[in-house]
Homo-oligomer: A and B are copies of this chain.
Amino acid sequence: MINTHPYIPNASSVTKEMLRVVGVRGLDDLFVDIPSFPFEIDELLPEPIGESGVKRIVEETLSKNKVYGTKCFAGGGPWFHFIPSAVRHIISRGEFLTSYTPYQAEVSQGILQAFFEFQSLICELYDMEVANASMYDLSTAVAESALLCARVTGRKKIIIPACLPWERKSVIANYTEPQGVLIEEAPYSKENGGVDLERLKEVIDDDVAGVYVENPSFLGMIDNGVKGIVEISHDSGALAVVGCDPLSLGVLKPPGELGADVAVGNGQPLGIAPAMGGNTLGIMACREDPGIVRQMPGRIVGMTKTADGRRRGYVLALSTREQHIRREKATSNICTNQALLAVAATIYLSMMGRTGLASISRKIIANTEYAKDRMRMDELIEPIFQGINFRDFAMTIKGADDVDGKIREKGMVGGRNLSEDFPEMKDGRLFAVTEVHTKKEIDELTSSIHEALGGA
């Protein structure tokens, strides 16, 4: 039995005195009310391992990973975007890292202001008035938006683009199905991959609470039809939920300008590392419509004043929407969210600023279009859709499975296999290039694909 540990200060000479105050003889006496079921925990050593040993063990395990980093060109997210060093340094500061949800506003102004700035930056980016201080990820943001639409309109059907990955559809269904909210898919145009407006008009009816559309789409297509989709939705009394990549918004029209009622996004590109898909940040914002705002899920920080009216301050606002007050009638069950990553995004957006963000958007589009052009190979490699891409682009590659392997031999990871999500896209691969890729790196990718196909 051990009696000291670096993380447990009172396991020391003070234990005895404290036991005396409590009036028991040993720690075990504090657990006499627990029924005893003997058990063993085989997967752990009985004794603690010291810091140096734990480091070695975990590093040994992790060393079985191969790090491709920016040599991984798989599309569909997460992505390898540039992360300013200052982001990590700031979010590692103990005052942010080791803080809890700021229930005591007076000693938590720092992170409250950071959240307020996050909300504000998201609002500017998406052209909305209200944003929450994070959802788990894009999928749950879409799912919660669907529920919001249903609550606001009292209707029970949501239209989503057919062109979403299976995971996202599955998450949405897990949130909507228990509420009796039905999901219908809007077919995509075989030509440009966007939602087919005509067919949308056919599908939509009085039961539709909301229409969800992404721009750029999951397959990276910039969709000129979003405004039309929003109009069709509004015409039939549904809300429009628009999903946008935040980095695309340095150049593309924001959801607000397109008429969206709710905007969602995947915040990972904003200064957050891919980490096996484990660092997610769901963005959710809406118009300043009291009916919608009241139905928002998640934490929202508001600006206020000190009781004496003299100074500005920040507090958690509108908590009557939330589970800790409203319980089963809450707008959502979300409690712990992705706060620190929202702070990372805040630092990222502050540092990028107006010109930085616009440059990054432009750079990504240039790199993507360049990569797509370079990758083409008559009869062997073709874009699946016609149009302009942002970061992600879908290609049909003859004998794609073989090509995947050959690229891997060159130390790269090729495109995401689309045939799993979209059987009609046999040999389809979704690639992504970002602003971190040099021309040379893009050329290396494309030439190794060409080589694999026996080309130049």
Contacts and interface: CB of A to CB of B under 8 A. Distances in A.
A52 B93 contact: no
A52 B85 contact: no
Interface residues of A, number: 16
Contacts of A436: 52
A443 interface: no
A67 to B, nearest CB: 12
A440 to B, nearest CB: 11
Contacts of A26: none
A84 B89 CA distance: 18
A47 interface: no
Contacts of A82: 51-52
A92 interface: yes
Contacts of A129: none
Interface string A426-455: 000000000110100000000000000000
Contacts of A438: 56
A65 to B, nearest CB: 17
A274 B82 CA distance: 30
Nearest to A70: B56
Contact of A435 (B52, B85, B94): B52
Contacts of A84: 51
Interface string A92-105: 11100000000000
A51 B87 CA distance: 13
A94 B436 CA distance: 27
Nearest to A81: B52
Instruction: Count the copies.
Output: 2
Nearest to A55: B85
Nearest to A51: B84
A107 B6 CA distance: 31
Interface in A168-204: none
Nearest to A93: B93
Contacts of A351: 6
A55 B92 CA distance: 20
A45 to B, nearest CB: 15
Nearest to A4: B355
Interface in A68-89: 82, 84-85, 89
A382 B401 CA distance: 59
Contacts of A85: 51, 55
Interface string A395-428: 0000000000000000000000000000000000
A225 to B, nearest CB: 34
A429 to B, nearest CB: 26
A55 B82 CA distance: 10
Interface in A139-188: none
A351 B56 CA distance: 20
Contact of A89 (B6, B51, B92): B92
A438 B50 CA distance: 13
A160 to B, nearest CB: 35
Interface in A33-56: 51-52, 55-56
A5 to B, nearest CB: 13
A44 B85 CA distance: 22
A436 B59 CA distance: 14
Contacts of A56: 438
A6 B436 CA distance: 18
Nearest to A355: B4
Nearest to A435: B52
Contacts of A92: 89, 92
A153 to B, nearest CB: 45
Contacts of A51: 82, 84-85
A336 to B, nearest CB: 23
User: What 10 A-B pairs are tightest by C-beta distance, nearest first?
Assistant: A52-B82, A52-B436, A51-B84, A89-B92, A93-B93, A51-B85, A51-B82, A52-B435, A92-B92, A89-B94
13 contacts: A6-B351, A51-B82, A51-B84, A51-B85, A52-B82, A52-B435, A52-B436, A55-B85, A56-B438, A89-B92, A89-B94, A92-B92, A93-B93
Interface of A: 6, 51-52, 55-56, 82, 84-85, 89, 92-94, 351, 435-436, 438
